[in-house]
Structure 1
Amino acid sequence: MKEMFHKWNQISLVKRILAGIIVGILLALIVPKGASWVTIFGSLFVGALKAVAPVLVLFLVIDAISKHKSGTQTNIKSIIGLYAIGTFVAGLVAVVASFLFPVKLTLVTSAEDLAPPSGILEVLQTLLFNVVDNPVNALMNANYIGILAWAILLGIALKNANETTKTLLSNVSDAITKVVKWIISLAPIGIMGLVFDALVTNGLSALMEYGKLLALLLGCMFFIALVVNPLIVYFYIRKNPYPLVFQCLRESGITAFFTRSSAANIPVNMNLCEKLGLNKDTYSVSIPLGGTVNMAGAAVTISVLTLATVHTLGIEVDFATALILSVLSAISAAGASGVAGGSLLLIPLASNLFGIPNDIAMQVVGVGFIIGVLQDSCETALNSSSDVLFTATAEYAKKRKK
């Protein structure tokens, strides 16, 4: 048994995850009721990742900053710039695609029990209040903006601490990283449960009515992942970007697709950054930050669903207003994680730009939840995989200039 387990672990994680996906699909098709117990593996896997991620971020950032020496450069500014460019361009691509391939909706659903933000100021205010959140509360609610703020402050305060304290922090950080690796090694079993649950619970029949809308949304996301992001990476590193792009999609995007949680994917991304040999001082900050503000997928969702509503109502839109929508989508997307319901609840905010009544906008939110089984999965995969992609890009670009 021990030898079998050892041989299983020698197989690459991606191949093991693909095996888990295949087994999950087969169980859902052959014994959907008899294997219902499989779903617990998915819930346990996502729960474990979500539980360890806040603690991992806190101690990694404190450790990195407390040991950071003056004069040692990190790439945070370049990475934030890449996050901003990627999110804005994603919103712009979605706007252009929505005009080239207009989609109309049948508004028969509702989401009246949800409370969207009243304006962009509320989104930004929520983001700012997350910065000054109680540290214990931030850890409990996985508020990564608050966790980052406290970790940075504590890291700066501990810069002058004695070496024994810094060694303790380093040991705790290493121990949590090891726990993360143990959890990630269970990904094939966890994803098997998630795939089984998704197929048995949702099926694909409910998505057929919204096929055109899904095709537009997913088409934009694939275009950004396979065309736009590689172009941005090439501009910075001046060599073939696709090996890096495919590695990020394969080793981060697949897991994010099935967990549908940027927070749960933070440990996976940290592990991938370590595998790529990136600077720990940089990625320990850029990855949790990216999970909050690098939201290309959310920008696509906001733009496409808003313009689908516009086309449904026959509202004329000029180029200037469409450009404003791209900017608004990018800014709103950066605050999406701080708003209950994620990117879908920001659709009424963007709809206000065109004078669309809130009751209609909330019906569109309801449509969003119906197609969420695929839309949210692809959105999370794009968002999370590009966190590692842009972190690596900034570091490789810096090395190229030396």
Structure 2
Amino acid sequence: MRLLQMGLIPQILLGVVLGALLGVFVPTVAEPLGLLGQLFVAMLKAVAPLLVMLLVMSAIANRHESGSDGRKTLIVVALYVAGMVCAAIVALILSQLFPQTIALAASAEGAPPVAVSAVLTDVLLKLVDNPVNALLTGNFLGCLSWAVLLGLSFRKAPDTFREHLQIAADGVASIVRYVIKLAPIGIFGLVCFTVATVGMQALAGYASLATVLVAAMLIMALLVNPLLVFFLTRENPYPIVLQCLQESGITAFFTRSSAANIPVNLSLAKKLGISEELYSVTIPVGATVNMTGAAITITTLTLAATHTLGIEVSLPAALLLCVISALSACGASGVPSGSLLLIPLACSLFGIPLDVSMQVVAVGFIISVIQDSAETALNSSTDVVYTYAVDQIGKSD
């Protein structure tokens, strides 16, 4: 009973430790226990496309218009997008300087595109895929395109229909939360099987990958964000950046939920003297679409997959990945480690099969003990930092 009362992070840590110990000392149990990991990956694979489609569709259909200053709100949203693209570029640079490889549960090969034109052609074809086929085949690009189109169309639907759409999205999100609760068991099986078949160097590779992720997030929080704020305000950005990291980032680190941190950010925004007309809109919007850390996670793990499979990534394809990572990060769900479910979308740009990309997602869950907490801290604190910067522009005009 005490084990069940532990939080998800301690449970995952315990699963990693026990799985590694069994993999080293009792390798004969690795194959049956590996089935637990396979089942966990299969459940993620089944629910992820539907989750992306319903969440994005519902968010667009139920978006409410606000009477706040539209100009300032648009600037904040533009800053959110610029920040996510910058985050993806930071992750790209670090991944090229320190290329990462990961131990997958089974050997597989990717089919690298011959040129960036092939990537663009494949993207366009996937965008216009049949929605049912997109769900069945795990075509995340098709799921996203149909979600956006249907969401825009449903904005004119009756309120009751849009409420039911939100209920459906919440229902799928609840299923994901139940699946996430099984993460310690699935990770236990994955680690046991991986260590028994590959060796302890697999865990060393996971630690190296986590280090690159956290380093990219620190660079974004302590260097890139201050530069963006200084560009807008021409003032020393570090007092506000550090205050937001302390009062918003720390709580978000432990809650691992941008949505749960909205009240903290609203209180902090009021404390900083930001216009209520502005922060009452941008803080909730930021908790939904401003996923700077998610862009880093998606880019880093996707490039780790390409390095592992020996896929050459050209500069145009890498830049396209940064844009796709930033855009797809906006669709990261509000559940812990939601950004990991969008990795297959980015992996599909390089012809990486869904089975392989979902193994990368499983690796992401292994390092999510630190990755998801650091990611959420960056996401949530950035919401207030950017809102403050734009509000200062308004006051100086």
Contact kept, 8 Å, 1:130 with 1:338, in 2: the verdict is no
- Aligned residue runs from structure 1 range 29-48, under 5 A: none
Residue in 2 that maps onto 1:296: 292
> 1:214 offset after TM fit, Å?
0.3
Is residue 91 from structure 1 mapped to residue 88 from structure 2 by the alignment?
Answer: yes
- 1:38 Cα deviation after fit: 8.1
| Contact 1:344-1:368 at 8 Å conserved across structures | yes
Residue identity in the other structure for 2:288: T
| Residue in 2 that maps onto 1:361 | 357
**CA deviation string 1:345-395 (max 9, x = no partner):** 111111111111211111101101111111111111111110111011000
In the TM superposition, residue 222 of structure 1 has moved relative to its aligned partner by 0.5
User: Which residues in structure 2 correspond to 1:206-225 (within 5 Å)?
Assistant: 210-225=206-221
**Residues 73 and 350 of structure 1, relative CA distance in 2, 3 Å threshold:** closer
1:126 aligns with 2:147: yes
1:35 and 1:312 map into 2 onto residues whose CA distance is: 35
The Cα shift of 1:281 comes to 1.3
> 1:375 maps to what in 2?
371
What is the distance in 1 between the residues matched to 2:144 and 2:103? Answer: 29
For residues 108-123 of structure 1, what are the structure 2 equivalents within 5 Å?
A: 108=105, 117-123=138-144
8 Å CA contact 1:116–1:345 kept in 2: the answer is no
What is the DSSP-based 3-state SS (H/G/I as helix, E as strand, rest coil) of the residue aligned with 1:75?
Answer: helix
Distance in 1 between residues matched to 2:337 and 2:379, nearest whole Å: 16
Deviation at 1:75, TM superposition (A): 1.5
Q: Counterpart in 1 of 2:113?
A: none
Residues 337 and 372, structure 2, Cα contact 8 Å, conserved in 1? no
| Matching residue of 1:171 | none
1:75 and 2:76 equivalent? no
* 1:23-52 superposed Cα distances (whole Å, 9 cap, x missing partner): xxxxxxxxxx98986869x9xxxxxxxxxx
Deviation at 1:208, TM superposition (A): 5.2
Deviation at 1:333, TM superposition (A): 0.6
Listed one character per residue, the Cα deviations across residues 121-146 of structure 1 (whole Å, up to 9, x for unaligned) are 42243356567472376489669xxx
Residues in 2 aligned to 1:85 and 1:350: alpha-carbon distance in whole angstroms: 18
Residues 1:228 and 2:221 aligned together: no
The aligned residue for residue 315 of structure 2 is 319
Letter in 2 for 1:80: V
Query: How far does the alpha carbon of each residue in 1:158-208 deviate from its partner, in whole angstroms, 9 at most, with x for none?
Result: xxxxxxxxxxxxxxxxxxxxxxxxxxxxxxxxxxxxxxxx9xx99xx9965
Kindly state the Cα deviation for residue 339 of structure 1 after the two structures are TM-superposed: 9.3
**Residue 78 and residue 213 in structure 1: after superposition, are their counterparts in 2 closer, same or farther (change >3 A)?**
same
Q: 1:258 to 1:139 in 2, by over 3 A?
A: farther
> Bigger shift: 223-232 or 335-344?
335-344
Query: Helix, strand or coil: the match of 2:102?
Result: coil
**What SS does the corresponding residue of 1:317 show, helix, strand or coil?**
coil
Q: Call closer, same or farther: CA 1:254–1:139 in 2, change over 3 Å.
A: farther
d(CA) in 1 for partners of 2:368, 2:136: 18
1:120 positional shift: 2.4
Q: Partners of 1:327 and 1:301 in 2: how far apart? A: 14
* Conserved? CA contact 1:127–1:335, under 8 Å: no
1:287 has 2:308 as partner = no
Q: Which runs of 5+ in 2 are unaligned?
A: 11-62, 108-134, 156-160, 172-183, 189-199
- What does 1:15-26 correspond to in 2, within 5 Å? none
For 1:148-167, what aligned pairs fall within 5 Å after superposition? none
Letter matched to residue 284 of structure 1: S
CA spacing shift, 1:129–1:286, aligned 2, 3 Å:
farther
Q: Partner letter of residue 320 of structure 2?
A: I
Q: Secondary structure at the match of 2:270?
A: helix
Give me the CA root mean square deviation: 3.5
CA contact (8 A) 2:261 2:380 kept: yes
Which residue of structure 2 aligns with residue 12 of structure 1?
A: none
CA distance 1:341–1:225, change in 2 (3 Å):
closer
Moved over 4 A (4+): 33-40, 114-117, 127-133, 139-143, 205-209, 338-341
Task: Tell me, in whole angstroms, the C-alpha distance in 1 between the residues paired with 2:386 and 2:81.
Answer: 11
The percent of aligned pairs where both chains have the same amino acid is 49
Read off the aligned partner of 1:134 and give its amino acid letter: R
3-state SS in 1 of match to 2:311:
coil
Aligned residues, how many? 285
In structure 2, do the counterparts of structure 1 residues 363 and 254 end up closer, same or farther at CA, with 3 Å as the change threshold? same
Structure 1 residue 230 displacement after superposition:
0.4
Distance 1:283-1:370 versus aligned 2 partners, 3 A rule: same
Q: What is the aligned partner in structure 1 of residue 102 from structure 2? A: 105
Instruction: Output one character per residue of 1:294-314: Cα deviation in whole Å (capped at 9) or x when no partner.
Output: 111010001000000111111
Pair 1:135-2:142 in alignment: no
- Kept in 1, the 8 Å contact 2:207–2:367? The answer is no
